[in-house]
Structure 1
Amino acid sequence: METVSSRVNHPDPSLYNEDLAPVPKEKRTWDWINYSTIWMGMVHNIVSYELAASLLGMGMNVWQALSAVILSNIVLIAAIWLNSTAGTKYGLPFPVLIRASFGYHGAHFPVMIRAFVGIFWFAAQAYAGSKAVGAIISVIYPGWDSLGRIAFLGMGLQDWISFGVFWLLHAWVISHGMERVRHFEMWAGPLVIVLGFGLVGWAIRAAGGVGPLFSIQGTLSGGSFWNSFFLSVTGLIGVLATLVLNIPDLTRYSRSQKDQVVGQAIGLPVMMTVFAFMSIMITAGTIIAFGKPITNPVDILLQFHHPVVILLGAISLLVATLSVNIVANVVSPAYDLVNLLPKKLNFVKAGMLSIVIGLFFAPWLWYDNSSTIYTILGAIGGTLGPVAGIMITDYYWVRRRHYDISSLFSKQGDFSYVRGWNPHAYIAMAVGVVAALIGLFVPALSVVYTYNWFVGILVGGLVYTLLMRGELTKSVPTAREKVDTI
């Protein structure tokens, strides 16, 4: 088992509290099943469904859409595995580990960018999930939609009530900390698979067999197809780009490296591909049944006009979306805010603050604009990619897979740099972001934007390694320097 002592010598109070400290051995209880179900919960949700389904709406056929999903998952799991190892080894969250490359003060900026993105996605997922709440209430109260006549701040009263109920469900799960999150994920993740199989069965019946679902012709070819294909891959990566950074927030609880590697392999590439395959087949069924692609699963359920189907399906979607939102978009910003104010915040308080801030993103004003969503996804990938590249290269090449834990909680340790800032990391991040996003502003380089996440992570990591090449001459710690394993 690759874990090290959780003892921190003389930590600085401004950099340390119990939520940021290394997780002790007795609390590292998450096994491969936990990680499998957590990832099931994160990938089986309304937003993931819509993004996979929208590939058909863009003009791809079933096989082209599925290929985009598979490629994005292969890239994601590789990056996530690379950034998971340090979290498992040291029991530390992302906001602490990133101090190694950016410095104890310099880490605040990328941490807050990641928190901003996480809270943004919380708002988007909360709005998407609230539609399932509305579908459930509409079965119980037939006059539900009539409340839409009362509207304010861009949303009808029935939508405000749905959004409020879903928001309170998040608060209930968060209020009891990470253990409630773990237990919730154990049954929430697999639930939506049952709904997915049911809708796939409907799609096959509606199409008159499996063959017609795969015979739907795409409208893209040549250069337009490849541009759309790689832009879609980048967008799909952008959905989980925050997880590449903050995966240590979860793997710090792992019993071993093997548990997190095996569990994540099952939960992300395997289950995401299965879920996307379901999404694409169901959407193909809607094209045949209704003459147009319906990408929102709640809208599909409403087409059945059957109370039991709507009720059970909407409950499954609600639980699935709540699941991903807690793990991916509340846990991570919570640790980020604790890192910013360790003396005043703990995990629960920071989690509550995150979901309050999320209300101000007003997702109901922009969520249904697909072009806006993909532009945002691309910008997210381009911004976070360089940070991921810097973290990965720092751990594997600059630090040779060894961090001095006490220095991560000290202002005089290995990671103090220049008054707590590492200029090399900021230069590498700036170069990586410019390289990733330049295609947005220079038409002649628009093709670069198609690959912006790949460009960002590679350029950011390479520039950082070159700037820190002096650190590469440091020897691997001797046996005397290594801390005892537990």
Structure 2
Amino acid sequence: MKAAFAADLYNEELAPVAPERRNWSWLNMATVWMGMVHNIVAYEAAAGLMAIGLSAWECLEVVAVAYAILFVTMWFNARAGTRYGIPFCVLIRSAFGPKGAQIPVILRGFCAVFWFSVQAYGATQAMDAILSTLSATWASFNEYILGMPEKRWAAMAIVWALHAWISSHGVHRIRNFELIAGPLVIVVGLMATFWGLHVGHGLGPLFSVPSHLHGLAFVGAFAVGVTGMIGMWATFAVNIPDLSRFVRSQRDQVIGQAIGLPLTALVFTPMAIITTSATVLLFGRPIWNPTELLLALNQPMITVIGGATLILATLSVNVVANILPASYDLINLFPRHLDFRRASQLVLILGVFFVPWLWFDHAANIYRMLDIIGGTLGPVTGIMLADYYVIRRQALDVNALYRHEDIYDGNRGWHLPAIIALLVGAAVTSAGEFIPAFHSVGAIAWFVGVLLGFGIYVALARKVPIPSVLGM
């Protein structure tokens, strides 16, 4: 049967995972999410919510709503991966056609490599802080090379090597790493929380700050907060089949995600607020950046342990949320030449060429560009859900996904309803970046994108004959 597959659409990494190899339990899925939710960006997100006027308790409400929506979206988008054992880059061919699918795959891959680069550089700073604390000789290597001190280049090489080691033996080593890293990050986070409770003699001052928003102002800020929280994981909502294809049952994937995503986020957010409350009492201002907090405490042992924790947290989110999907996306582009090991190495190389040490000085440009690209993934999510549940009725001919000129080929490899839905959805969600009249759309861009992608795709796809595989 394999001989009938197109060489540019199939290799062993992209092939469906055999049922006997789908051995991830709910615990594996939960610990993977634990490792991803506990990251620096999520830690600092509470600061952004409080900065727009929400109280600490309202921050928790925003987190609850956002992660509940994410959980439902990922639960439904993960089902096809668990049922058929196929990754996102193969599943998306059903909606876009084998050639058209390259558009969302490239968009998702770009975001993954970029975020890998940025987050790995954050871990590089932590590694540099640890080694500078331990060695005066290391701290003295400050000669700049291509815009970065030589000690930072060495620290980056170490961090990149750690990523390479974890991803070198594929998804199963990543699973085993997350089984340890996810719970360990929680343990260290709990230690920081107990420290914050001790210093603050309770929840601390941030929990006593009242909300500054009421009426429509509160509703608007709440919507912005929910959309922002969802935006952190909107890319992963698209490629969740990359993980769920290894889970042994639908029950395991839904229980694992329920524990690892909304429940963990609801525990993690107050931990961040409590820890930061202690910094208000110690330093007279809230310090939300964990690295800045370590330096402010000026305790070598804490700097080393805390820095190691930040590196561990970065590794746990990077290997799953960025290296894994980017590797599959690259394999999909070059199936004749890449396997997972080679693709993950290529992700590391590409990450260096994104020169993250230069981007760090232009954070506004980073988020503006990623908001535009990420906004296009809202329509992709809507299209995927519409295709699988409404158009295909949860029935796919998996073999046809690996062939040209078969039932998913569309118009010479392009399924136009999906292409049109993506272009229209992306244009609307990105319009606010360029047209002031559409600026308000940005506050709910992901929701608008999902609804537009879903609605337009269903309307157009129903006018095109769709071969049925319901009898399979």
Question: TM above 0.5, one fold?
Answer: yes
Secondary structure of the residue aligned to 1:14 is coil
Distance (whole Å) between structure 1 residues aligned to residue 346 and residue 109 of structure 2: 12
2:71 maps to 1:77: yes
Structure 1 residue 461 corresponds to structure 2 residue 454: yes
Deviates more, 1:157-166 or 1:176-185: 157-166
- Distance in 2 separating the partners of 1:260 and 1:215: 38
* 1:403 partner SS: coil
Deviations 1:236-284 (A, max 9, x none): 2222112111111111111111111100110011112211221122223
Question: Aligned equivalents of 2:82 and 2:144: distance in 1?
Answer: 48
Please identify runs of 4+ aligned residues in structure 1 that moved more than 6 A: none
Counterpart for residue 3 of structure 1 = none
- CA deviations 1:44-83 (Å, max 9, x no partner) are 1222212233333444321122222222211111111111
Distance 1:127 1:183, change over 3 A: same
Q: Is the CA contact (8 Å cut-off) linking 2:37 and 2:261 kept in structure 1?
A: yes
For 1:314-346, what per-residue CA distance to the aligned partner results, in whole angstroms no more than 9, with x for missing partners? Answer: 212211110110001001011111111111111
Residues 432 and 459 in structure 1, CA contact (< 8 A), matched pair in contact too:
yes
- Single out whichever of 223-232 and 304-313 deviates more from structure 2: 223-232
Q: 2:333 aligns with which of 317, 337, 340?
A: 340
Counterparts of 1:171 and 1:288 in 2: how far apart (Å)? 41
Among 284, 297, 319, the alignment partner of 1:304 is 297
Residues 190 and 67 from structure 1, CA distance in 2 versus in 1: closer, same or farther, beyond 3 angstroms? same
Over residues 114-134 of structure 1, what are the superposed CA-to-partner deviations in whole Å (9 max), with x where a residue is unaligned?
A: 100111110111011122212
> What pairs up with 1:48-59 in 2 under 5 angstroms?
48-59=42-53
SS of the residue aligned with 2:4?
coil
Query: 2:54: which partner in 1?
Result: 60
Q: Give me the whole-angstrom Cα distance separating, in 2, the residues matched to 1:380 and 1:248.
A: 20
2:231 is the alignment partner of 1:238: yes
CA contact (8 A) 2:407 2:467 kept: no
- Contact conserved, 2:204 with 2:274, CA < 8 A, in 1? no
1:167 to 160, 170, 176: 160
The letter for the 2-side match of 1:345 is L
In structure 2, the residue corresponding to 1:133 is in which secondary structure?
helix
Supply the distance in 2 between the matched residues of 1:334 and 1:130 (Cα, whole angstroms).
22
SS at 1:210's partner residue?
coil
The one-character-per-residue Cα deviations of 1:427-466 (angstroms, maximum 9, x if unpaired) are: 1001111121222222122111110000001101110000
Q: Counterpart of 2:83?
A: 89
Q: Is the 8 A contact 1:235 1:381 kept in 2?
A: no
Match of 1:106 among 100, 103, 109: 100
Residue 153 of structure 1 and its aligned partner are, at CA, apart by 3.0
Say if 2:38 is the partner of 1:44. Answer: yes
CA distance in 1, matches of 2:53, 2:13: 47
Give the match's secondary structure for 2:403. Answer: coil
1:115 aligns with 2:109: yes
Q: Which amino acid letter does the alignment assign opposite residue 376 of structure 2?
A: T
Structure 1 equivalent of residue 8 of structure 2:
14
1:4 matched to which residue of 2?
none
Moved more, 333-342 or 55-64: 55-64
Contact 2:98–2:404 under 8 Å retained in 1: yes
Deviations 1:347-403 (A, max 9, x none): 111111112111122222233655445434532431110011101100000001001
Matches within 5 A, 1:3-402: 10-142=4-136, 144-148=138-142, 150-210=143-203, 212-220=205-213, 223-367=216-360, 371-402=364-395
1:194-244 residue CA offsets vs partner (Å, 9 max, x unmatched): 221122222223323225341124555555554443223222222211211
Task: Tell me, yes or no, if the aligned pair for 2:185 and 2:313 is still in contact at 8 Å.
Answer: yes
Measure, in 1, the Cα distance between the counterparts of 2:90 and 2:467: 22
- The question of whether the paired residues in 1 share the 8 Å contact of 2:107 and 2:373 is answered with no
SS at match of 2:8: helix
Determine helix, strand or coil for the equivalent of 1:42: helix
- Say which SS state the counterpart of residue 393 (structure 1) adopts: helix
Q: 1:287 to 1:216 in 2, by over 3 A?
A: farther
Q: Distance in 2 between matches of 1:232 and 1:145?
A: 40
Are residues 141 and 55 of structure 1, via their aligned partners in 2, closer, same or farther at CA, if it must alter by over 3 Å? farther
Alignment equivalent of 1:419, drawn from 406, 412, 422: 412
TM-score, normalised with respect to structure 2: 0.94
Judge which range, 114-123 or 437-446, deviates more.
437-446
SS at the partner of 1:436? helix
**What is the distance in 2 between the residues matched to 1:114 and 1:50?**
24
Aligned partner of 1:379: which letter?
I
Q: Secondary structure at the match of 2:141?
A: helix
Cα pair distance change 1:23/1:117, threshold 3 Å: same
Percent identical? 46
Provide the C-alpha distance between the structure 2 equivalents of 1:230 and 1:134, rounded to a whole number of angstroms: 38
Report the 3-state secondary structure (helix = DSSP H, G, I; strand = E; otherwise coil) of the residue aligned with 2:433. helix
Provide the TM-score with structure 1 as the length reference. 0.92
The AA in structure 2 aligned to 1:137 is: L
2:54, 2:213 within 8 Å by CA — same for their partners in 1?
A: yes
* One-letter amino acid matched to 2:461: M
